[in-house]
A and B are shown apart, each in its own frame.
Chain A
Amino acid sequence: MTIVAVTLKGLLRDRVLHGILFASLVFLAIPALSTLSMRQVTELSLTLCLSLVSFILLVLAVFLGGVSLWRDVERRYTHSVLTLPHGRTRYLLERFAGTALFLLGTAVFLGILSILVVSLVASNYPPDRPVAWLAVVAALGFDVLKCLLLIAFAVLFSSVSTSFFLPVFGTIAVYLVGGASQQAYDYVLSPVGQTLPPLVRAAAKVLYYVVPNLAAFDLKVNAIYALPLDPGALALTFGYGVLYTAFVLIVAAAVYSRRELG
């Protein structure tokens, strides 16, 4: 059995799926909650669905990504796994792939639920502009890509950490900093930002290029209000996400391959 399969089996054994199913019961309340809006019932249903999916995926990325490697070390499973003819890099990448596959499956399941709920609401309260389903799918897809990047960071932190705290809180910190990096950069470039000391401005610019830019992956506003998508920008964001994730995983593999597993 491959490590990917072991990871997926472990997640099912931990009843993560039960937790997701329980959380997805909230979808049942969304059609009723959406009617609280005065003028944009369908848009509110989309807001609620996409935010709920985003929240569940974020929690999964932080906790599953942060816990999987660390727990193996803690329970000394790693020793037995590494006696198999697998390198540490392969072990780490397959752990990542297993978690990523689980996240992808969850996103597909929650995405289908979202589409069903929004279709139901839209049939009762037709929106001013038709729902842009392509933008909805793109918003879900890029949310998954963002979470894969966060899982990669969680794996990186796990590869150096001996405790549960660094992977989980480190990933949350990356999420917060990554979400605000574009805003901070825009501020530095604004007329008000020009009054900052040159050293601060230079440091902010360097940080902007180092820290992941997670704002690019947020397409909710396009999906909710049927705003047009820019295919060029989407392709760039996709490339950015894949390459950044690959780079973080390479660093994680390099660190993990040299780690003392006493």
Chain B
Amino acid sequence: MMRFAVSALCVLAVYLTVLFPFTRSMAQKPYAVKLGIIPHPVALQVLLPDFQELLGARVLGKVIQYYGSLTDDKAVPGKVPLAADYPAMSRTVHAALRLDPYNMDGYYFAQSILVWDVHQYRLATDLLEYGMTYRNWDWYLPFFAGFNYAFFLKDYENAAKMYMRAGELSDAALFKSLAGRYLQEAGETRMAIDYLRTLQSSARNPAVKRSLQVRIDTFEAVLAIEHARDCYLAENQSAPQNIDALIEAGYLADKPVDLYGGEFYFDERGQVRSTSKFAFAGVHRSDVEEKPAPPRGK
């Protein structure tokens, strides 16, 4: 008995010396290595026919966990470091939605990441329209797609169609009114804030929630500048030269802060813009390849 106990203790001691470096090396593995190779969805459908929904949820869970682990909320809330592997994330989300086209987490995550972080508006909207053929009761998908069409793609006709669809499904007056307002091509900042607040109110992932809060706060600053600009224009019959002119004339109490680290300015049309382009530095459109939505049909 003593012999077994000594053997077990020796093995346990060696195991513990290996365990800590092992854990460290696992934590340092790149995302693609950690995630492993995801077989083609068709192969998974054939090999594990009864477990497609489970596989879809599992794959999405890995991506969401990865994204959550990248945000450094103590340093800059909502900021994702440059090392984020967006192409791999995009491919993974597409594969998961091919396995389970009903999974709302996939659409929600794709909308959060593809639109706001990598500016792939068309790709995200195509994915939402793909989801609408399955989740035909869900007002969130046309709501997201309507926002993308109006705010990013400037396609007000399609935006109105999507908001009408969201209004029909949810019976919410807001969407019906948004459908009308988008046709007028006005009030974009206010609409963006309305949209983001709706998105945030239903978000549960803390990283996504904080990321949305940063955007809402920044857009509130933009809205304050737009309001001051309109007052200036009405009273002085001329547009202000820059943001400082609004502060000097007393239309703004303080210089509004862009939480993305940029400086606000007026573009040639008098619209409020920021040098940050309302995104943390380092994320570019070209980081994610254009990949079409999965073909319809499971």
- Could you tell me which A residues sit within 8 Å of B by CB distance? 36-41, 43-44, 47-48, 50-51, 54-55, 58, 128-129, 143, 176, 179-180, 183, 214-215, 218, 220-221, 224-225, 227
The tally of CB-CB contacts under 8 A between chains A and B is 70
The listed residue with most B CB atoms (<10 A of its CB), out of A47, A48, A54, is A47
**14 chain-A/chain-B pairs, Cβ below 8 angstroms:** A36-B65, A39-B104, A44-B57, A47-B53, A47-B57, A50-B53, A143-B50, A176-B47, A179-B49, A179-B50, A183-B45, A221-B100, A224-B53, A227-B102
Q: Pick the contact of B204 from A38, A214, A225 — CB < 8 Å?
A: A38
A176-B47, A180-B49 known; A38+B102 contact, CB < 8 A = no
Are the C-beta atoms of B53 and A40 separated by less than 8 Å?
Answer: no
Q: Pick the contact of A36 from B50, B53, B61 — CB < 8 Å?
A: B61
CB distance from A108 to the nearest CB of B (A): 19
A43 to B49, CA, bound (A): 19
Are the C-beta atoms of B51 and A180 separated by less than 8 Å?
Answer: no
Encoded as 1 (CB less than 8 Å from any A CB) or 0, chain B from 77 to 108 comes to 00000000000000000000000101111001
Q: Pick the contact of B105 from A40, A50, A218 — CB < 8 Å?
A: A40
Chain B 195-210 residues near chain A, CB threshold 8 A: 202-205, 208
Are the C-beta atoms of B49 and A218 separated by less than 8 Å?
Answer: yes
Is B54 engaged at the interface, CB distance under 8 Å to the other chain? yes
Nearest B residue to A220, CB-CB: B53
- Could you tell me which B residues sit within 8 Å of A by CB distance? 45-47, 49-51, 53-54, 57, 61, 64-65, 100, 102-105, 108-109, 135, 137-138, 202-205, 208
Nearest B residue to A218, CB-CB: B50
Q: Which residues of A contact B64 (CB under 8 A)?
A: 36, 38
Q: Which residues of B contact A225 (CB under 8 A)?
A: 102, 135
Q: Which residues of A contact B202 (CB under 8 A)?
A: 39
Q: Which residues of A contact B138 (CB under 8 A)?
A: 128
A54 to B65, CA, bound (A): 26
CB distance from A149 to the nearest CB of B (A): 13
Q: A38-B208, A55-B51, A221-B53 are in contact. List 6 more A-B contacts (CB 8 A).
A: A38-B204, A48-B57, A50-B53, A58-B50, A218-B49, A224-B53
CB distance from A39 to the nearest CB of B (A): 4
Are the C-beta atoms of A48 and B54 separated by less than 8 Å?
Answer: yes
Are the C-beta atoms of B205 and A38 separated by less than 8 Å?
Answer: yes
Are the C-beta atoms of A38 and B105 separated by less than 8 Å?
Answer: yes
Q: Which residues of B contact A50 (CB under 8 A)?
A: 53
Q: Which residues of B contact A143 (CB under 8 A)?
A: 50
Q: Pick the contact of A38 from B46, B53, B54, B109 — CB < 8 Å?
A: B109
A179 to B46, CA, bound (A): 7
Q: Which residues of A contact B109 (CB under 8 A)?
A: 38
CB distance from A74 to the nearest CB of B (A): 30
Q: Which residues of A contact B105 (CB under 8 A)?
A: 37-40, 44
A214 to B48, CA, bound (A): 12
A227 to B205, CA, bound (A): 26
A147 to B102, CA, bound (A): 26
Nearest B residue to A217, CB-CB: B50
CB distance from A219 to the nearest CB of B (A): 11
Q: Which residues of B contact A221 (CB under 8 A)?
A: 53, 100, 102
